[in-house]
Amino acid sequence: MQETMTQAVIKKIAGGTAATPAGFSADGVHCGLRYEKRDMGVLFSKVPANCAAVYTQSHFQAAPLLVTKESIAKEGKIQALLVNSGIANACTGKKGLLDAYKMRSSCANKWNLKENHVAIASTGVIGEHLKMDLIESGIGMLNPSVEGAGGEAFQNAILTTDTVEKSSCYQFQADDKTITIGGAAKGSGMIHPNMATMLAFITTDANIDSALLQESLREITDNTFNQITVDGETSTNDMVLVMANGCAGNESLTKTHKDWPVFQDTLQMVCEELAKSIARDGEGATKLIETTVKGARTKEEARRVAKKIVGSSLVKSAVYGEDANWGRIIGAMGHSDAYMEPAKIDIFLGGICMLEEGEPKPFSEKEAKEYLKNEQILITVDLHVGENEGTAWGCDLTYDYVKINASYRT
């Protein structure tokens, strides 16, 4: 991210949602897939929007992903995104695929859209079929609004075990036009993206070609959503989708446009904020763990080591127990395939040096324990074998994680 540029021109919009960019609206309702919470939402653009998406790498991709891939592939445009929670429609065979197509066609019929201009997503329990009568009823109840309540209702409707809604919104100027990028996400458990029950939906009123949007999203996803982990599990339904409807009226953004770097930085900020909010809301979590690895040979190696650390059950447990056992960090790094020279490595917990050039450093246990009481914990590792760095985000591992997942279906 280009820090000096972003500080100068990018503004965070408090309370902004995925319905904040011009030309977008949203809604969320309760249709009965869940006992009482909202369980169906829609994001709607007044014109077909250029679209980009990345998906889970699981071998068991859910039916909604297959249908959405088909929709986007046809023209690269989406006008409505329909999402249900409660049932994932994953591992549901031929009927599940037919239900996903029906979900798409019903949405298209309601708003008189081309079927390939509708994307769908589902999240919830794997291996159960959708209750299509409830799906149809929910679509009938949806009434997208540009007001803040519409965006908030959508954010709420896509949640499962999440404890908080997750949103982000920023603005910048391009061609004397105000460009807005907003987003909503869900995810709390089964999080280890490559690309977990993780969904993120981003909207912008910027004018940008879908192919370039896809390139930008893929690069930024590698630095943000693919750098979070809660429990090392990857889901069947992961998706990050971006819609750009051009309603801001700017000239088309290209790599040669003077404001291209600002667009990149703003999209990165939205994605990073959403990714961190997912990691912070890990099931049962009490702390966000952020690990930055510096001095690596390549960015990819730095990212891999950082994710190894935040993904370690022993590191996560030590952070929960407020135990400054930096040997857990060494243990996680030790089975990474990144290049390392142990005699060169430094490790810091916050500002406290634990290891310097491979040698243990005396530190105050009291000071370290006090630091570990914070809600956000920073671990920094310097490999001293290159010039590249990467960051990953995770959370602590608590007793409540087991309780939540032991009773997920009951």
Query: Annotated catalytic, 197?
Result: yes
CA dihedral 300, 302, 308, 314 (to 10 degrees): 180
Q: Are strands 352-356 and 199-204 parallel, antiparallel or unpaired?
A: unpaired
User: Of residues 197, 203, 204, 236, which has the active-site annotation?
Assistant: 197
Q: Are strands 352-356 and 346-349 parallel, antiparallel or unpaired?
A: antiparallel
Beta bridge partners, 242, equal 52, 202
Environment class of residue 149 by beta-carbon count within 10 Å: exposed (0-12), middle (13-18) or buried (19+)?
Answer: middle
Residue-by-residue DSSP string for 111-150: HT--GGGEEEEEEEETT----HHHHHHHHHH---BSSHHH
> Which H helix or E strand runs over 392?
strand 388-395
Tell me phi and psi for residue 34, to 5 degrees.
-115, 165
Tell me the residue type at 266: T
Q: Residue 15 in contact with residue 38, Cβ under 8 Å?
A: no
Give catalytic residue positions.
197
